[in-house]
Amino acid sequence: MKLYGAQTLWLVARLALATSSTTAPPSTDDPALELLFPEDFLFSSATASYQVEGAWNVSGKGESIWDRTTHEHPEKILDHSNGDVACDSYHKYKEDIQLAKSLGTPMYRFSLSWPRLLPTGALDVVNDDGVRYYNAVIDECIANGIEPVVTIFHWDLPQPLQDLGGFSNGIIADYFEDFAGLVFDKFGGKVKWWLTLNEPYTLCQEGYGNGAKAPLVVAEGRANYLCAHTMLKAHARAYRLYQRKFKAAQRGKVGISVNSYCFWPKNATDLDDQAASNRWQQFILGWFANPIFSKDGDYPAIMKEYIRDASLRQGLKRSRLPEFSQEEIQMIRGSADFMGFNTYSSRLVSSAPAGSGKPSSTALVDDGQVIVTTDPSWETTIAPWHFVVPEGMRRVLNWIKKEYGNPSVFITENGYPDGGDLKDVGRVNYYRSYLREVLKAIHYDNCTVIGYTAWSLMDNFEWFYGYANRFGLFHVDFNDPEKPRTAKMSAEFYKRLVSTRKLPKDGDVIFLPSPPSERRP
């Protein structure tokens, strides 16, 4: 067992107090059910460009890394599908905004397709149709009383930039700053809520680390760290550009959507496991949040220490984790007006001895000296990565509060996968149980949570799970060329939640689907 300082022992004690059973069923008489979300609490739903737009090669749009991946490697997708048509939101955006309006949400989060606006990724070719399309979407939102929340980048990198190495090449920060400047200039007069990047952890770890997502790079322990380094600088440069050039006139807010599971010690009374779960929270959430939201900036100290030590054990002369200059640390620190936060599930973490993996391993878990597992008693879903652990929501919100001085947190994704059921009871129960924990975090713990976004507005292309996994409040029939949308039980639940600002109880939702539309796709 390692020796721990006073600060670590204090944290371990707090973690032990916070750790409790995560498997107890929700109580229908839980007083949190009667709590109200604050009057100014912001409800939203979300989509992303590649997942819903379709029109992959029309009107001047360029190729993205997801176009290339799904076309050249359909075997990577669970149902061998792609986003060529998807929900056809390029043509049906007005209908989609009506769906959002029917929920009563004051906001709708969507993303811009970088290759639809800049086909080569650079400013030398600006696609006028892309500018027209997103202006139309934004105008339609505003005409229907909906505030657009615009994500500048949600994983669909232009393929020409990937040909340069993508985010493992630091020069992509230059291209992203140029792209951000273009969209601030073209749309910033009407958009007041911006998210620079969506889930940089997922893109870097799965796109450039283990190859589980486009662009299929397998270089864990190296390219994933380079990707993160570039993305953090890209975000900060876009933020500083907005502050310098656009903020005074446009008066908007700029944030970033980071993501993480909630990590629990596998053995709640074991000091090593408690320290490991906190260390892994730093590795995953702190990797991107600490440089922006912490008092001192930079990567978490424990992350730098462990990766440096692992690198030196392997005979390297320097850490595989790149270093920021002091100027870069200052540029990145404080570069967000709010924290967007995506979370879905939890994991158990136990400590692993240094070098317990293969000596040459550069896997993230080996750098962090952890073993990550799940609890067999947790409720499962159709997605092998997704487990229902609602208490993790409150726990991780409190971790953010403690670690970063209680920043304004906008939950920008949270949702539940199934096979496309209209009577989506599992999704309703998931929303109810997770939102109950949000209420507790707000009212009992004084966490500054300013909004909640349901993922997703409608069924869409779910990356390597294709159309087999559905997250939507609205069902989409992908077998019908018209891609008709149908409200699910969860849409009614969410609508009532938004209108009352209170969690509907079990008996509050009455849903009578019209046969024969009730079916799995």
Indicate which residues carry an active-site annotation: 199, 413
HSE at residue 411, side-chain half, CA atoms within 13 A, is: 30
**CA max distance for the chain:** 67
HSE at residue 484, side-chain half, CA atoms within 13 A, is: 6
* Nearest residue to 86 (alpha-carbon basis) of 477, 519, 488: 477
The tokens describing 88, both together, are 């056809």
Inter-residue contact 38 to 89 (CB < 8 Å): no
In angstroms, the CA 76 to CA 481 distance is 24
Inter-residue contact 334 to 235 (CB < 8 Å): no
* Nearest residue to 175 (alpha-carbon basis) of 127, 243, 124: 124
Amino acid residing at 114: W
The tokens describing 192, both together, are 């007041």
The tokens describing 375, both together, are 């609890």
Cα 500 from chain centre:
27
Q: Is the dihedral of CA 350, 356, 357, 361 positive or negative?
A: positive
Inter-residue contact 71 to 461 (CB < 8 Å): no
How is 493-512 classified by DSSP, letter by letter? Answer: HHHHHHHHSBPPPGGG----
What's the Rg (C-alpha) of the chain? 22
Neighbouring C-beta atoms of residue 516, cutoff 10 Å: 6
How is 94-140 classified by DSSP, letter by letter? Answer: HHHHHHHHHHT-SEEEEE--HHHH-TTSSTT---HHHHHHHHHHHHH
In angstroms, the CA 337 to CA 220 distance is 31
Inter-residue contact 199 to 343 (CB < 8 Å): no
HSE at residue 190, side-chain half, CA atoms within 13 A, is: 17
Using DSSP, state whether 378 is helix, strand or coil: coil
In angstroms, the CA 63 to CA 67 distance is 6
In angstroms, the CA 30 to CA 26 distance is 8
